[in-house]
Amino acid sequence: MMVDKRPQDGHGEALSAYIDGELTREEAETLVAHMDACPECRRALESLKRAKAVLRSMPHEELPPHRARVIPYVAQNAKYFIAVQAAAALLILGVSIGGGYYYMQRLHSAQDAKTEETASKLAVSAPAGQETTAPGAAPAADTAGSADSIAARNREYAGAKQESLLGTKWKRIAARDVEDLILSCRGDKYVAAKVTTIEASDAAARRKVLDLVNGSRPIMSGAAGFVVDMEPIYKLVIRTRDGSSMSFSSPFGGPMKEMNGHRGTPPMLVKGLGPPMTVENEPLARYLYDWVRKP
Amino acid sequence: MPNPPHFDEVYRSQAGPVFSFCMRLLGDREEAMDATQETFIKAWRGLKYYRGDSSVSTWVHSIALNVCRDAVSRMARRPRPVEPDERMADPAGEFAAGVIDAAIVDEALARLPVEQREALVLCDVLGHSYAQIAELTGNPVGTVRSRIHRGRAALASILEPPDGEDGLNT
């Protein structure tokens, strides 16, 4: 790192303070008088002024609109928001804003089997941060593991009564198809902690969702969608116009900390639901619902 | 004692400056967004204790400063796995014109010791006085003055290296 070893350095702090208007009148007069006779200090002054000007001209950063909207909501509901900082995501929902798609695990819907397109499938693996590809699933450059190892891992986690995301199919659902978005929580532990963007391409989205699923920090960048990751929310239901519904819920029914002890365990579980769930956290549900409906 | 300010007002007036502040200190959009959110969560919780001793801006920035300090130490412990191209894949245009310069300045800032960076950002980006910065950072004014100068001189040397030296291009 730079250390002041130049001729003007005896006056360095005074020069900066002068620029900042932090010298007394007497100090300033003394310094100005000195500079008249000291070209080094005059040059140093100009250099310091330019550095200050550069910082002052830094663009004013604008919060991305979705964050700008969500933050006050999150803040004012902070008592509901547990472990907002940093911790890994428990529930992830990739929702599009204007042209993107929802990435979510598909559940019970009879016609799904017929209409599902291979290209729209996303194979999701959970353990140990690896990605695997289900048979016939979308192209994945970063394939790791086989069907056997997937099955083995599935069995491994079966004891925890989890439904692994291994090999499950993901489907794109256009935002316009979403009829309803219902959030439900248990007790006071419900959270919508972060909203970040997710890229729209399948491979990238999957990888990022996996990063979330596997407990690492969300790695997101700007795109036509966002991920709502909520912790520790217990259930989320989305109904689409074709009558299918999807839900996400915590595998352990507990907060993220418990799950961090299970490395590689998918921190979410997808279950089929019957009728739409009771809305217990209505403000949050309404907020996100409106938000999704009117992007 | 005046009534505490309304949160919406605080948020409306301070969200941008706080986010900018976090950006300059952290040099990372996602981290800065998280820090901004956390700042306002803390501000919301602390609003009823805000006594108006300092301006709302100073108060909120002092919260942000602490949040960013935590984030800086957390980031130092755990390098973020961001791929270089991720930040550029930005169809929303957030990294549009001007981003190069800002990125260079952010990189230069990131090279400064964190306490110099804090003081310099508070002074030059937010326009705080030395006294305000002293209050915010919990340091004597003399320390603040020294850090600002050293940080600014270092920044100048990075951005316009003396002859024969490379700045950021090294």
Which residues does chain A have within 8 Å of residue B150's beta carbon, measured at their own beta carbons? Answer: 2, 4
Q: Interface pTM (ipTM) of the complex?
A: 0.78
Name the residue type at position A208: K
- What DSSP string runs through A74-142? HHHTGGG--S-SSPPPSEEEEEESSS-EEEEE--S-TTHHHH--GGG---B--GGG-----TT----TT
Instruction: Report pLDDT for B63.
Output: 93
A-B contacts at Cβ under 8 angstroms:
159
Residues of chain A with pLDDT under 50: 1-8, 79-145, 147, 149-295
Are residues A219 and B81, on separate chains, in Cβ contact within 8 Å? yes
Distances B67 to A31, B23, B40, B60 between C-alpha atoms, Å: 38, 12, 10, 11
Distances A262 to A130, A212, A258 between C-alpha atoms, Å: 15, 14, 8
User: Under a CB-based contact definition with an 8 Å cutoff, are residues B152 and A52 in contact?
Assistant: yes
Instruction: Report pLDDT for B168.
Output: 52
The distance of B20 to chain A (nearest Cα, Å) reads: 5
User: Under a CB-based contact definition with an 8 Å cutoff, are residues B115 and B147 in contact?
Assistant: yes
pLDDT at B111 over 50: yes
Q: Which two tokens stand for residue A134?
A: 């289900």
Q: Which two tokens stand for residue B24?
A: 């300059």
Higher pLDDT, A185 or B124: B124
Chain B interface test: which of A20, A41, A195, A216 (most B C-beta within 10 Å): A20
Are residues B33 and A47, on separate chains, in Cβ contact within 8 Å? no
Chain B interface test: which of A48, A71, A80 (most B C-beta within 10 Å): A71
Give the DSSP H/E element, type plus range, for residue A166: none
Are residues A222 and B111, on separate chains, in Cβ contact within 8 Å? no
Please, how many CA atoms are within 13 Å of residue A200, restricted to the half-sphere of its CB?
A: 16
Higher pLDDT, B107 or B123: B123
Distance CA A175, CA A120 (A): 15
* pLDDT tens-digit readout, B30-61: 788 888 988 988 898 888 888 887 788 888 99
Q: Is A60 on the interface with B (CB under 8 A)?
A: yes
pTM for this structure? Answer: 0.51
Distance CA A197, CA B91 (A): 11
Q: Which of A51, A71, A221 is nearest residue B37 as measured by Cβ atoms?
A: A71
Which residues does chain B have within 8 Å of residue A59's beta carbon, measured at their own beta carbons? Answer: 98, 102
Instruction: Report pLDDT for A55.
Output: 87
- Under 8 Å CB-to-CB from A71, ≥6 apart: which residues? A63, B11, B15, B36, B37, B40
The distance of A21 to chain B (nearest Cα, Å) reads: 9
Which residues does chain B have within 8 Å of residue A52's beta carbon, measured at their own beta carbons? Answer: 124, 152
**Band of residue B67 on the pLDDT scale cut at 50, 70, 90:** very high
Name the residue type at position B58: T
Which residues does chain B have within 8 Å of residue A219's beta carbon, measured at their own beta carbons? Answer: 30, 80-83, 86
Three-class SS state of A273: coil
* pLDDT tens-digit readout, B80-104: 443 333 333 333 333 333 343 677 7
The distance of A284 to chain B (nearest Cα, Å) reads: 16
Distance CA A118, CA A116 (A): 6
Instruction: Report pLDDT for B104.
Output: 78
Three-class SS state of B33: helix
Closest CA to A66 of A285, A219, A226: A226
Q: Is B8 on the interface with A (CB under 8 A)?
A: yes
